[in-house]
Amino acid sequence: MKRCADIPGSTNWIVGHTNRFKAAVTLRSVSNFISDDGTRDGAYGHSPDFGGDIFQQFDLYWNRSPLKYAQNVKTPTLILHSDNDYRVPIEQGEQWFRALKHFGVTTEIVFFPRENHNLTRTGEPKHLVESLNWQLYWFDRFLNGNSNAVPPDMK
Looking up residue 88, the CATH number of its domain turns out to be 3.40.50.1820
Range of the domain at 71: 5-154
Tally of CB atoms within 10 A around 11: 23
Q: In the prediction, which pLDDT does 145 show?
A: 96
As for how many domains the chain has, the answer is: 1
Q: Give the predicted TM-score (pTM) of the model.
A: 0.92
pLDDT tens sequence across 63-118: 999 999 999 999 999 999 999 998 999 999 999 999 999 999 999 999 999 999 99
**Angle at 33 (CA atoms; ends 114, 23), nearest 5 degrees:** 70
